[in-house]
Chain A
């Protein structure tokens, strides 16, 4: 059974700093890894998706990497801004079958201090 862990549970950093969020998964035979953002009481906004054949994906100030052999993914946020404050979730998908579920981590609550 796939288990996904995110450490730390909460992180506070001053505005402008670069930061890294971590995601670990137990089954390295994943097909893809998706990062989401969740604002308090709101839905899930997809940020980046990395397929198992890729090592990283970039979108603006965000860069996600995937290391299947070590069971880890990281989300790098450059030049953090107060608007980046939110909970960040990672979710793993085991196969490319159309109906394959996502297994989510518990999230990291990020606070950017102005």
Chain B
């Protein structure tokens, strides 16, 4: 069964460093998302992406964040200068064009630890 994959599973970085989190969505999906979950808190929407453009972003997704689809398979989230409060689990998700169910499929997550 097709699945969303994410790498790395765990990333440790120093405050102020740039990180890139990678996702490979399900191959025929066209809509992509990033969510994050700070430890003990709810899963929060960051950004949605379609047709090489951001469709919607939350107030969390400030100028330190960027997304891109550099090739036909990867979808990346870049944090330019990490802060301690960026420590969280980051989830990538994808789905197909509206097909009735419009179900989003999630990857296993990348745990980001900022020291």
Contacts and interface: CB of A to CB of B under 8 A. Distances in A.
Interface residues of A, number: 26
Interface string A35-68: 0100001111010010100000000000000000
B103 A98 contact: no
Interface string B47-63: 01110000110000000
A31 B102 contact: yes
B75 interface: no
Contacts of B105: 46
Contact of A43 (B42, B103, B104, B108): B108
A105 B33 CA distance: 18
A49 B102 CA distance: 9
Interface stretch (A11-19, A21-29, A72-80, A88-96): A88-96
Nearest to B53: A99
Nearest to B50: A99
Contact of B103 (A49, A99, A101, A106): A49
A99 B48 contact: yes
Contacts of A41: 89, 111
10 contacts: A32-B103, A36-B106, A44-B109, A93-B104, A99-B33, A101-B33, A101-B45, A102-B104, A103-B45, A107-B42
Interface of B: 30-31, 33, 35, 41-45, 48-50, 55-56, 89, 91, 93, 95-98, 100-109, 111
Interface of A: 31-32, 34, 36, 41-44, 46, 49, 51, 89, 91, 93, 96-107
Given A44-B109, A101-B48, A102-B45, 17 more contacts: A32-B101, A34-B103, A46-B104, A49-B101, A51-B100, A89-B42, A96-B98, A96-B100, A96-B102, A98-B31, A100-B48, A101-B33, A101-B56, A102-B35, A106-B41, A106-B42, A107-B42
Query: 6 closest Cβ contacts across the A-B interface?
Result: A43-B108, A99-B55, A104-B43, A101-B45, A44-B106, A99-B48
